[in-house]
Amino acid sequence: MDRAPRAGARAALLVAALLGTAFVVVVAVRTPWTLLPTPPGGATPASADAGLPAAVVARAESLAAAIRPASVANLLLGLVTSALLGLTRLGSRLVTAAGRPLGGRWGWQVLLGTVALVLVGRLVTLPVAAYAEVVRHRYGLSTRSWPLWLRDVGVSTAIDAGLTALVVLVLVALARRAPRTWWAWASVGAAGLVVAGSFLYPVVIQPAFNSFQPLPAGQLRTDVLELAEESGSPVQDVLVADASRRTTSLNAYVSGFGATRRVVLYDTLLADVPPAEIESIVAHELGHVATDDVLTGTLLGALGAAAGVCLLGWLLTRAPLLRRAGADSPGDPRVVPLVLLLVLLGSLVATPVQNLVSRHVEARADLHALDLTGDAAAFIEMQRRLAETNVSDPSPPAPWQWWFGSHPTTAQRIALAEDWLRLGER
C-alpha cells in the first residue's frame, strides 16, 4: 500500500475512534443508570415467577425451550451464509452473474447482486422462520394465515433488499468517485439515513404491515389524550392498529414527531383489558417521549452508523481481506458480499450494547408510568397480563437476557414497582 492510501486508512480509523468515543459519551450521559434510591430494608428482590401462576410460568418456559433454539439457529445460519458469500469467491461470482443480463455494468452488478445476496440469506433462514411461526401458532400467539405470513415475508424482504441495494450502490459509487475519502462522505450519508429513517418509519414502513383507524370517541380516548397532556407530550391522535390479524400479543406505542406524533394501541388491548391497565402501558410509552428517548436513540444510531462506516473504510483497505472476497478495491462491485458480512458482524457486536442501554431506558419509562398514573397496582397487573398473554418467560436465563433482552424482565419490572410503592410510603 502506498503512502496516500495508508494515510486515508489511518484517517478512517482515527475518525471511527473519535465517533466511537462520542457514542460512549452520549451513552454514559443519557442512560439512566440509577432510577430510585434504595428503599428502607433494601431493594425488593425480583421474584423468579413474578407472582404468576405455576401453569403460566411453565407454559412460558415451554415456549422458550421451543423458540430459543430457532432464534439461535436463525442467527447462526445467517452468519454462516454471509461468511461463505463474503469470504469466498462464491459471493463475488453471484454479484457478477446477477449483473450479466444487463450488460455487466458495475451499477447493475451492485444493485442486482445485493438483491440476490439478500434473497439467498432470506431463503436459507426461511425454514427456521416457518418453524418459529408454527410454534407461535401452537401457543396461540400468531393468528396469521400462511398466505398472510408469506405476504409479510415477501414485503419485508422486498423492503430490506431494496433499501440495502440502494445504500450499497451509493457506497460503491462514492468509493469509485473518491477512492481516498469515500468513507468520510459515506459516514455522513449513513448518519443522515438514520435520522431520516426515524422520521419516515412511522408513516412509510408501518402502514405496509398494519392498518390504523382513530380510536372512537369515548372515555378511553379522552383519558389517553389527557394523560399525554399531563405528561407534557401532547399527541395529535389515538389510533388503533389491526394487530389481531397477526397476533394475540398486547402492545401500544407512541410514534412520530410533532405533527405526526400519535399513540397507537393494538386492537388486542381493547378486548378485555381494563382501562387503568391500558393507561399504564400508554403512560410507559409517553415516558419515552417525555425523556426524548427517540431523539437520543436517533443520535446514538447516527453516531454508531457513521463510526461503523469509517471502520468499514479502514477494513476495506486490507488487501488480504479484499483478495479473499475476490475484490480489487472498495469500488469493485465484487466487494458487496464482504460489505454485507462486515455490517452483519458489526450489528452482532453492537446488539448487547444496544440492549443494555435499552433495558435502562425502558426501566425509566416504567418509572414515568408509575409517577404519571400513581397506580402501582394497575402497573403490576399489566405486567403480569403482558407476560401471560405474550407467553413471556418472567425470568429468562441471564446470558439470554444479557444478549437479547431489550426490556427488563417481568420480575424486575414488578420489583421496581414495589420499590416505588415502598418509597412512597415513607
The residue count of the chain comes to: 426
Q: What distance in Å separates the CA atoms of residue 82 and residue 91, rounded to the nearest whole number? A: 9
Can you list the positions of beta strands (E) in 87-229?
A: 212-214
Query: 137 labelled as ligand-binding?
Result: no
Q: Are 273 and 385 in contact (CB under 8 A)?
A: yes
Q: What distance in Å separates the CA atoms of residue 404 and residue 338, rounded to the nearest whole number? A: 25
Nearest C-alpha neighbor of 387 from the set 69, 138, 51: 51
Burial class (CB in 10 A: 0-12, 13-18, 19+), 295: middle
| Torsional class of 50: left (φ above 0), alpha (ψ -120 to 50), beta (otherwise) | left
5's grid cell: 492510501
Query: 284 labelled as ligand-binding?
Result: yes
How many C-alpha atoms does 7 have within 13 Å on its Cβ side? 5
- Measured in degrees and rounded to the nearest 5, phi and psi for residue 345 equal -60, -40
How many CB atoms are located within 10 Å of the residue 321 CB? 16
Active site residues: 285, 366
Q: Are 240 and 210 in contact (CB under 8 A)?
A: no
Query: 407 labelled as ligand-binding?
Result: no
Please give the annotated binding residues for Zn(2+), written as ranges: 284, 288, 362
